Amino acid sequence: MTAEVLLERPSASVALLRINRPEARNALNASVRKLLAEHLRALADDEAARCVVVTGDDKAFAAGADLRDMAEAGAIEMMLRNSHRLWAAIAEFPKPLIAAVNGVALGGGCELAMHADLIIAGEGARFGQPEVRVGIMPGAGGTQRLVRAVGKFKAMKLVLTGEPIGAREADAIGLVTEVVADAEVLPRALALAEQIAAMPPLAVRQIKEVLLAGQDAPLSTALALERKAFQLLFASEDQKEGMRAFLDKRQPEFRGR
């Protein structure tokens, strides 16, 4: 039986996670969420993997949570599933994560994309939080990450109407990083991953950590975090190598030390 999340290694420094439930438009059942969490926990400890891309197929990034998994569930059962722990493995992934989105990214699929650090969307991609239409609301960060990305008034329209938006509108309101031709989504995401993977890994990880930790902190606190991380990187071999290479007019060799 084919795994519902496939791990591929396009290069030594880049990993690709491919959601593989085409018959269900890559809906996020418990198995998919568990496999994504397991792969990302392993990749967090894999020194060779410096950037990760997550994708679906040409028709769907992920069409949302699998309603068959929850239609008859009760509140206590939903609580005991502890799904938030699986989402935490994605939210706490310390390395850059890129979502390559073709087709629909709805409900949990949109939430999964928003867990990423960069979103590359195809021209035909559609994003939305349609949970209200089936009597519930977003439950994996869809209200909180969305309002932080696009602001109150755009977020309210998306979550209160459940209407999806196209890639160009998503780009205009700040929900995606880039929009490219549908056929170029994965190649562009992988090229961007390779570009980031070539950067000094310690600096990359500190940038991600400080940016995410500081966005909801008071400015003075966030600036203190930035300052301490900046100073810390002067203890790294990569800082010495990067600056010496710049002065020597040669390409640096970053080792993550």
Q: Active-site residues: which are they?
A: 65, 108, 111, 131
Up-side HSE of residue 173: CA atoms within 13 Å toward CB? 21
* Angstrom distance (rounded) from CA 240 to CA 202: 13
* 164 vs 170: CA distance, rounded Å: 10
Beta partners for residue 166, in sequence order:
126
**Exposed e or buried b for every residue in 66-102, given b needs 16+ CB within 10 A?**
beebbeeeeeeeeeeeebeebbebbeebbbbbbbbbb
Between the CA of residue 44 and those of 16, 32, 40, what are the distances in Å?
13, 18, 6
Instruction: Map residue 152 onto helix, strand or coil.
Output: helix
d(CA 214, CA 199): 22
CB atoms within 10 A of CB 45: 8
Distance from C-alpha of 3 to C-alpha of 72, rounded to nearest angstrom: 26
DSSP string computed for 168-190: HHHHHTTS-SEEE-GGGHHHHHH
Checking DSSP bridges between strand 97-101 and strand 178-180, what pairing results, if any?
unpaired
